[in-house]
Structure 1
Amino acid sequence: MLRTVNATRYVLPLREGGSLPAIVEADDLGLYVVKFRGAGQGTLALVAELIAGEIGRALGLSVPELVFIHIDVTLSRNEPDAEIRHLLKASAGLNLALDYLPGSTMFDPAARDAASPAEASLAVWFDAFTQNVDRTPRNANLLVWHRKLYCIDHGAALFFHHNWPTMPQKVESPFAEIKDHVLLPWASQIEAASAIAHDRLTSQVLSEIIHQVPDEWLEAAGSDLSAADKRAAYLDFFTRRLAASSIFEQEAIRAHARLI
């Protein structure tokens, strides 16, 4: 279960992309990279971040700890930047944060032995499964910390939930975008990654992850579906996509073969 902390100090904005994340200190004295519900991408980005991130962790990939972080509207009082002040006010309530990894560096695909075949294959499988389009050489969303590779920023995954009627068609998508994955050159063990995934992603594991998403995030995202209906739909999607995984696995294997 995700822990809940309270924000005590806005430390530093990270002006990257449309989510306007920031480093924030919490009442456990930890530093976190916060994804704000009041940012332009809304609560769906937080839902994707939570579900995909915890699926990655369940698979055995390194993902910074995710926590719920409560933002009090008073946090904005002493903020001189009007844009940040507005963001903090719009994000009052429950938000999502990742453990800040001090001293981490961005993944460099040009580095020698940048990723092991086993780890790269599992990451490629994971991103194809969650349909994450945002792990490319242009924007790797991978950090190296203490010589370990960490997967971050999954807000662009699960894009089917922006248009629920398309969900049934996305279940068996081969995910052609996998050809642009930054770790694809090292992903020579997709079949082994598949065996690991099928062993670890049980219905119980997936259900427990999905049920951690707060009702208020699901309800704030709109559509005629209730929070309970959306949870059932997410579980249905992942259960069916796992059963049809050979479709996107073969796409990844073919894409890898074209690189070598």
Structure 2
Amino acid sequence: MKNLLSLRTVNVMRYITPLREGGSLPALADADDDFKYVLKFKGAGHGIKALIAELIGGEIARILELPIPELVFANLDESFGRTEADEEIQDLLQGSQGMNLALHYLSGAINFDPVVTDVDADLASKIVWLDSYITNVDRTFRNTNMLIWHKELWLIDHGACLYFHHSFTNWENHAKSPFALIKDHVLLAKAAKLNEIDILFRSVLTEEKIRLIVDLIPQDWLDWEDADETPEHIREIYFQFLSTRLANSEIFIKEAQNARKTLI
């Protein structure tokens, strides 16, 4: 079956500047479609699994019609970065030849501040549901990973979700886990409609759509040196994890609701 979901592929033309320090070392870059992108490198400290998490988390958000910048595959030519003066950046670029991932750059966007911007219960519940489902540890008051652009809220940075894949053992147990870290979510207090959103999202996010999202993962991203599983088996485990977790959503919904009660 042909995958009805697809990502465009762009070629990176110019490395402009790193966006922040840290293990992921994302950068602002120009591509050959004349747009700027936030480029995530497979050669960065968090490795290829962070790109897989970014891809799966971002495309699930898109299927659920949550606001997220366009994701694209970003190709780095083998000659790219040879003239870069910074040795650390040169090593990063040389170690990321081939297919990477990038998000459309929202020029002029500012970081979301929960004190300044109010989020209604419907949107807050949708975002809390998403992050509970994909086990996203990184949407807290300290690091909201949301932007305000043209007076609208946008979700970014899902590379820290699906943390089960860093050990890739007992995925069945992880799939049925309640996700206790939802207690730190920046929008949890506003998420008053989790039951309604759970019904809606379970109807939207079918197994067929989950399969299409997982099938977007490039084959070479699944060729893990430290894994005994084949790329096909790894892909299937992602599908089974997401399907099992969706089928048991009441577990993480109850956890979020109980955590919310302590805040209100």
Please confirm whether the aligned pair reaches a TM-score higher than 0.5, indicating the same fold.
yes
1:255 to 228, 240, 259: 259
What letter corresponds to residue 218 of structure 1 in structure 2? L
Residues in 2 aligned to 1:97 and 1:19: alpha-carbon distance in whole angstroms: 12
2:144 to 140, 143, 149: 140
TM (norm. structure 2) is 0.96
What is residue 91 of structure 2 aligned with on the other side? Answer: 86
Q: Does the residue aligned with 1:247 lie in a helix, a strand or coil?
A: helix
TM (norm. structure 1) is 0.97
Q: Does the residue aligned with 1:135 lie in a helix, a strand or coil?
A: coil
| Percent of aligned pairs with the same amino acid | 48
Aligned alpha-carbon RMSD (Å)? 1.0
Q: How many residues align?
A: 259
What is residue 231 of structure 1 aligned with on the other side? Answer: 235
What is residue 40 of structure 1 aligned with on the other side? Answer: 45
Residues in 2 aligned to 1:72 and 1:84: alpha-carbon distance in whole angstroms: 15
Structure 1 position 69 matched with structure 2 position 74: yes
What is residue 152 of structure 1 aligned with on the other side? Answer: 156
Q: Does the residue aligned with 1:242 lie in a helix, a strand or coil?
A: helix
What whole-Å deviation, never above 9, does each CA across 1:135-155 have from its counterpart, x for those lacking one?
100111011111111111111
**Structure 2 unaligned runs (5+)?**
1-5
Residues in 2 aligned to 1:202 and 1:250: alpha-carbon distance in whole angstroms: 21
Residues in 2 aligned to 1:52 and 1:187: alpha-carbon distance in whole angstroms: 19
2:207 to 203, 206, 209: 203
What is residue 7 of structure 2 aligned with on the other side? Answer: 2
Q: Does the residue aligned with 2:216 lie in a helix, a strand or coil?
A: coil
Any conservation in 2 of the 1:215–1:227 contact (CA below 8 Å)?
A: yes
Q: Does the residue aligned with 2:262 lie in a helix, a strand or coil?
A: helix
What letter corresponds to residue 75 of structure 2 in structure 1? H
What letter corresponds to residue 258 of structure 1 in structure 2? T
Q: Does the residue aligned with 1:165 lie in a helix, a strand or coil?
A: coil
What is residue 105 of structure 1 aligned with on the other side? Answer: 110
Q: CA deviation at 1:221?
A: 5.8
What letter corresponds to residue 207 of structure 1 in structure 2? R
**Structure 1 unaligned runs (5+)?**
none
What is residue 126 of structure 1 aligned with on the other side? Answer: 130
Any conservation in 2 of the 1:10–1:75 contact (CA below 8 Å)?
A: no
Q: Does the residue aligned with 2:169 lie in a helix, a strand or coil?
A: helix
Any conservation in 2 of the 1:59–1:196 contact (CA below 8 Å)?
A: no
Q: Does the residue aligned with 1:25 lie in a helix, a strand or coil?
A: strand
What is residue 3 of structure 2 aligned with on the other side? Answer: none
Structure 1 position 190 matched with structure 2 position 194: yes
Identify the structure with the greater helix proportion: 1
Extract structure 1 runs of 4+ deviating beyond 6 A.
none
What is residue 60 of structure 1 aligned with on the other side? Answer: 65
Q: Does the residue aligned with 1:97 lie in a helix, a strand or coil?
A: strand
Q: Does the residue aligned with 1:174 lie in a helix, a strand or coil?
A: coil
